[in-house]
Structures are given as C-alpha cells and as structure tokens.
Structure 1
C-alpha cells in the first residue's frame, strides 16, 4: 500500500506511521507529513477532514506563513514559532545570492542539515510537536509540515520515528520517499521559471532537482550534528525523561 496520499493542491502528503518499531511493536497510524497547505482546494479540505486531523505542527517561519497562508478548516490546534521574525528564510536567500551550481547546491544542503537542528524556531516546534504526541489520541490525526515537507519536516519525522524505535535505515527510506512522492518532472520547470522571473537567476535543472529533492546523506549530516535522538530531545529540546517515555508509549499502536 502506498504511503503517499494524492491531493489536488498539496504536495508530498504521506503518512509516516505504521512502521515496525522495537520489540515487535508497531508505530501507530494517524501520523502525517506534508508540504504547505496554501493551495489546498475545497476537495482537499474535505479529504483532510476525513483524516480527523486535529493538530498541525507548522515549521515554517513567519514570513513563509505570511507569503503562503495555510488553507485549513476550523478547529485545529496549530503549533508554530515566531522566533525567526520576518527575516528572509535561508533557502530564499540562497536562491537569491548563493552558488547555484550542482556542487554549490549540494554543499549548501549539507550545511543546511547541520543548521536545522540548531535553529531556535525549529527547536520550539519540534518540542511542542513531541509533547503533543505524548498525549495525542490515537483516533486523532497529527500532521507536521514546512514549505516542501522534506527538510525541517523530515528531521522532525526522523526524530519521532527514532524515539519509537524504528531502525535508522527505515527512517532514511521514509525520508527519501519525497523523491517518489513529488512529480519533479512537472515541478522543476515551473519552479525554474518562477525563480528566473523573481530573482533573474536561471538555475540548471540538475542543481534545481537537488535543491528540491533529498539525499540520505543529508539526514546523516543532521544526526552527526545532534548525536542520538534521545540526547537531542532531552539536552536541546528540554523534554524530561518522563515526557520522552510518554512520547514513546503513545507512538506505539495498541
């Protein structure tokens, strides 16, 4: 069964639960990850409603949220951070003035994954999302997203699955699923044209595919930076041992 759920205006929406965990257990259902919801259609909203989603962890910065407001229904608990203020997001600054050769993009992506765990806004939403998962009902849907649903979202999902005891190679497989979930043949020309019109920069197709996609090495960069998920969640995000135990317990299917 495919983990990818098709929507009209939402990219990279898929569930990241139901993986095999430690000691023969299985991660529960109702856990979703995605790109932004600005272009969600009425049909998309009805489909989302059927998933019984009650909590949204939005990892985008304030400027991103202002530029592309979420098109959600009512009655949702939304987790987000205003720490970054309205500064230009790093990925947009890179597109505007960085080295957009293939080597330049690959280098920037690796540095991004060393930076993401240390950004306070990410840490705030990571912690809030995990604390929500510690008490979140199994009959309620939970979704985490950023702009594209691959980098910040990918790191949060990797942390969550790691706490649940999912093997790291399976976590990486879930992470790189973005490359199959998104139709890059259709997306790359559209983004290439938009970036040329907005920034007067023509990014070569291989470099843009690398920028829009993921590679397993990137996730390894993040975990080389943070060490184990447990150490990071405890020492950096500030969850107590009891909270971490509650996250683990509540992530397992009953």
Structure 2
C-alpha cells in the first residue's frame, strides 16, 4: 500500500504511522503529515473529512498562515504558535536576498536544520503535538504540516517515531519520501515563476530540487542539534518522563 495520498490541491500528504517499532510492535494508523492546505479543493476537503482528523499541528509562522490560510471545518483542535510574530520567514528572506547557487542553497538548508529544532515557535508546536499524541484516540486522525511538509514537519515526525522506538532506517525513509511523493516536474516551474514574479530572481532547476527536496544530511544536522529524542523532549520541550512514556505507549497499536 502506498503511503502517499493523492489530493488535487494538497502536496506531500501521506501516512507516517504503521512503521515497525521494537519487540515486534507497530505504530498505529491515522497519523498523517502534509504540506499546507491553502489550495485544498472542495473534493480535497471532502476526502479530508473522511479521514476523521481531529487535531491539526500547524508549524507555520503567523505570516505564513496569513499569506496562505487553511480552511478547516468545525470541531478541530488546531495547534499553532504566534511566537515568531509577523516577521518575514527565514526561507523567504533567503530567496529574496541569499546566494541561490547550488552551494548557497545547500548551505542555507544545513543552517536551517541547525536552527529549526531551536526555534521557540517550533518547540511550542512540537511539544503540543507530542502531548496530543500521548492521549489522542487511535480512531481519530492526527495531521502535522508546515508549508511544504518536509523540514519542520520532517523533524517532528522523526521525533515522534524516535520516541516510539522506530528504527533509524524507517525514520529516514519516512523523511526522504518527500523526494518521491512530490511531483517536481510540475512544482518546480510553478515555484520558479513565483520567485521571478516576487523577487525578480532566476533559479536553476537543479538548485530548486535542493531547496524543495530533502537530503539525509539535513536530518543528520537536526539530530546533531537534538541529541537523543528523549532528552530533547524532556529538557527542551518540557515533557515529563511520564508524558514521554505515554507518547510511546499511545503510538503503539494495540
């Protein structure tokens, strides 16, 4: 079964549950990760309703949410942070002013993965999302997303799966799946035109793939910042040992 769910206006939507954990256990279903939902069509919204999603962890900054607001139905618990205020997101500032060579973009992505685990807004939503996963009903859907569903979302999913004792290979496979889940042949020209219209900048296709995709090295950088998932959850995110244990217990299918 493919982990990727196809939508008309939503990119990179897929399962991040049902991986094998230790001792023959398995992570439960109804766990989803995605890019933003601003372009969701009516057909997409209908399909989302069928997934019985009750909690949405939105890792975007306030300005991103204002520029591309999501349209959700009633009764959902939305987790988000206003810590970053209305400042321009770092990735937009880089696209406007930064070195858009392949080396420059790769360097930006490395620095982003050093920064993301340490940003207070991300930490706030990471903590809230993990606490939800510690108590969330197994028959209810949970979705975490950012703008593209790959960097902030990728770090959150890697943390959650690590706390559930999923093996490193599966954690990295889940992270790297963005590179096959997204139709870059369609997406890259759209983003190239947007950058030209917004900032007057031309970006080569191979450089766009670095910026829009993921690389094992980037997640390595994030984990170098995080250290062990348990230590980060406890000492940085503020979860108690009981909450950390509950995340694992509740993520494992019965």
TM-score with structure 1 length normalisation? 0.99
The alpha carbon displacement at 1:236 in A equals 0.2
Match of 1:210 in 2: 210
The alpha carbon displacement at 1:71 in A equals 1.8
Q: Which runs of 5+ in 2 are unaligned?
A: none
Question: Equivalents in 2 of 1:231, 1:219: separation in Å?
Answer: 17
1:156-175 aligned within 5 A:
156-175=156-175
Question: Equivalents in 2 of 1:203, 1:107: separation in Å?
Answer: 16
Tell whether the 8 Å contact from 1:39 to 1:71 is kept in structure 2 after alignment. no
SS of match in other structure, 2:12: coil
The alpha carbon displacement at 1:246 in A equals 0.6
Residues 13-33 of structure 1: CA deviation (Å, up to 9, x unaligned):
000000000111000000000
The alpha carbon displacement at 1:119 in A equals 0.1
The alpha carbon displacement at 1:75 in A equals 1.2
Match of 2:112 in 1: 112
SS of match in other structure, 1:55: strand
Match of 1:51 in 2: 51
The alpha carbon displacement at 1:46 in A equals 0.7
Structure 1 runs of 4+ aligned residues shifted over 6 Å read none
Question: Equivalents in 1 of 2:225, 2:161: separation in Å?
Answer: 18
Match of 1:70 in 2: 70
Match of 2:240 in 1: 240
Q: Which runs of 5+ in 1 are unaligned?
A: none
CA RMSD of aligned residues (A): 0.5
SS of match in other structure, 1:144: strand
The alpha carbon displacement at 1:168 in A equals 1.0
